[in-house]
């Protein structure tokens, strides 16, 4: 993302208000957040804010190894004023939701993925990697309606799928043909 849009996310969605009581620092930018909201939705933040770690008493907590825009987008889902990510970022946000133990974000991201324009086998692979059962069912049904076994035998995504997922897809293809 460009610097302008990063600053916009930072300034408009995570500015200090009377409802914020913590500061997360990402890539040198301050994200003002509400501890209770993040603690409720995330075991990671609950532990960070409410356990006997040194971070509990620090006024600004640095979050390392994350992209500011991606992290702000992730937190915006539970913190309010949600930022809709592009299709290409959904898997990265799923990874971050796993890293920061934010299960409440997954249904939102799953719906984005279902409605995205990503290649169907890519969606199935993402669903497999992140245990998105609804996504998996939806995409297998969509994909197998108009596909033949020959059309997938040389597909790169096909080789990335687990045998279990391949069996589900092939079983569904056989039902249609």
Domains, the chain, ordered by start: 1-116 (3.30.710.10), 118-177 (no CATH)
> Per residue in 106-137, pLDDT tens?
999 999 998 999 989 999 999 999 999 888 99
Distance, in Å, from the CA atom of 166 to the CA atom of 54, rounded to the nearest integer, reads 47
Fill in the DSSP letter of residue 87: G
Distance, in Å, from the CA atom of 167 to the CA atom of 60, rounded to the nearest integer, reads 49
Distance, in Å, from the CA atom of 14 to the CA atom of 68, rounded to the nearest integer, reads 11
> Per residue in 33-53, pLDDT tens?
999 999 999 999 999 888 876
The alpha carbon of residue 67 and the mean position of all alpha carbons in its chain are separated, in whole angstroms, by 13
The alpha carbon of residue 54 and the mean position of all alpha carbons in its chain are separated, in whole angstroms, by 28
State the pTM of this model. Answer: 0.83
Extract the residue ranges of the chain whose pLDDT is less than 50: 1-2
pLDDT of residue 125: 95
pLDDT of residue 140: 92
- Can you name the residues that pair with 26 across neighbouring β-strands? 29
pLDDT of residue 55: 56
Phi and psi at 106, nearest 5°, equal -60, -45
pLDDT of residue 151: 79
Fill in the DSSP letter of residue 153: T
Say if CB 37 and CB 79 are below 8 A apart.
yes
Distance, in Å, from the CA atom of 39 to the CA atom of 2, rounded to the nearest integer, reads 30
What is the chain's mean pLDDT, rounded?
87
pLDDT of residue 3: 52
pLDDT of residue 11: 65
């Amino acid at each position: 993302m460009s610097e302008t849009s990063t600053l916009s996310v930072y300034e408009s969605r995570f500015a200090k208000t009377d409802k914020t009581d913590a500061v997360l620092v990402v890539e040198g930018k301050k994200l003002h957040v509400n501890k209770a909201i993040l603690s409720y939705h995330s075991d990671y933040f609950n532990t960070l804010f409410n356990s006997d770690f040194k971070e509990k008493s620090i006024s600004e907590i640095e979050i390392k190894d994350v992209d500011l825009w991606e992290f702000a987008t992730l937190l915006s889902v539970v913190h309010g004023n949600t930022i809709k990510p592009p299709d290409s970022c959904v898997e990265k946000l799923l990874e971050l939701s796993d890293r920061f133990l934010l299960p409440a974000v997954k249904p939102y991201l799953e719906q984005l993925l279902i409605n995205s324009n990503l290649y169907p086998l890519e969606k199935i692979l993402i669903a497999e990697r992140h245990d998105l059962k609804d996504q998996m069912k939806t995409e297998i049904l969509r994909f197998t309606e108009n596909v033949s076994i020959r059309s997938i035998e040389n597909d790169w995504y096909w080789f990335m799928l687990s045998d279990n997922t391949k069996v589900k897809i092939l079983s569904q293809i056989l039902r249609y043909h």
